[in-house]
Amino acid sequence: MSQPTLHILLVCMGNICRSPTAEGVLRAKVAQAGLGGRVMIDSAGTHNYHPGSPPDERSQEHALRRGYDLSKLRARQISEADYEKFDLILAMDWDNLALLQGDCPPEHAHKLKLFMSFADAAEQLGEVVPDPYHGGKAGFEQVLDLVEAASDGLVRKLRDRWENYRLSD
C-alpha cells in the first residue's frame, strides 16, 4: 500500500520573509528525514503585496548562510483553493492566523494552526515567528532559529505518523 502525501502551506503576511524561509527550511528538513516524496510544501501570504517576487534579499542571504536556498521561491497570496488542497495551513503569527480563520471555509478550519505550535520548546521560544522586515540582521537570524525549531518538531511528528502508518498495514 502506498503511503499518503501530506500538503503543508506556510503563511505570513507578504510571503517574502517568514513563510518562504519556513518553506525552504521545512523542505530541507523533510528531505533530510527521507520524507521528501510524502510531504509537499508551499508558502503564501495573507496579503498580495509582492506577487511573483522572490524572497527578501536579507531572508535569502541569512538562509543561504545556513544552507537553505530560497532563490527559486516566489511570493503569492493564499487562494480559496488552498483551503481545500492543503492538509495543514500554518500561520507565522496570531494576526495572520486570525485572517486565515476569517477567510477559511468552516469545513477546513481544523487545518489552521500556528507554525510554532510544533516547536518542542515553544514555551521558551514563543508562540509566533516575528516579522523581521523592518528590523536588522538579528531579526532574520531569530526567524531562522524559530523556523528550524518548528520544522524539527513537525518533522518528528511526521516521522512518527508514517512509522505508525507502516505498523498498521
Mean pLDDT by 10 residues, the chain (169 residues): 81 98 98 94 98 98 98 98 98 98 98 96 84 95 97 95 59
> Closest Cα to residue 70, out of 31, 36, 47, 43?
43
In the prediction, which pLDDT does 168 show? 45
Sheet holding 39-45, edge to edge: 39-45, 6-12, 88-91, 112-114
Given the residues 12, 56, 104, 152, select the one marked as catalytic.
Answer: 12
Specify whether the CB–CB gap between 11 and 100 falls below 8 A. yes
- How far apart (Å, rounded) are the C-alpha atoms in residues 120 and 49? 32
Pick the CATH number of 6-168 from 3.40.47.10, 3.40.50.2300, 3.10.105.10, 3.20.20.150: 3.40.50.2300
Given the residues 56, 82, 93, 131, select the one marked as catalytic.
Answer: 131
For 120, phi then psi, to 5°, come to -65, -35
In the prediction, which pLDDT does 1 show? 43
In the prediction, which pLDDT does 123 show? 67
Could you tell me the end-to-end alpha-carbon distance of the chain, in angstroms, rounded to an integer? Answer: 8
Give yes or no: 82 in active site.
no
Given the residues 17, 18, 93, 152, select the one marked as catalytic.
Answer: 18
In the prediction, which pLDDT does 167 show? 42
In the prediction, which pLDDT does 99 show? 98
Give yes or no: 42 in active site.
no
- How far apart (Å, rounded) are the C-alpha atoms in residues 3 and 5? 7
Q: What share of the chain is helix, strand, coil (3-state, %, to 5)?
A: 50, 15, 35
State how far the alpha carbon of 124 is from the alpha carbons of 117, 119, 152, in Å: 12, 10, 15
> What is the torsion angle, in degrees rounded to the nearest 10, for the CA atoms of residue 55, residue 60, residue 66 and residue 72?
60
Give yes or no: 156 in active site.
no
pTM summary value? 0.94
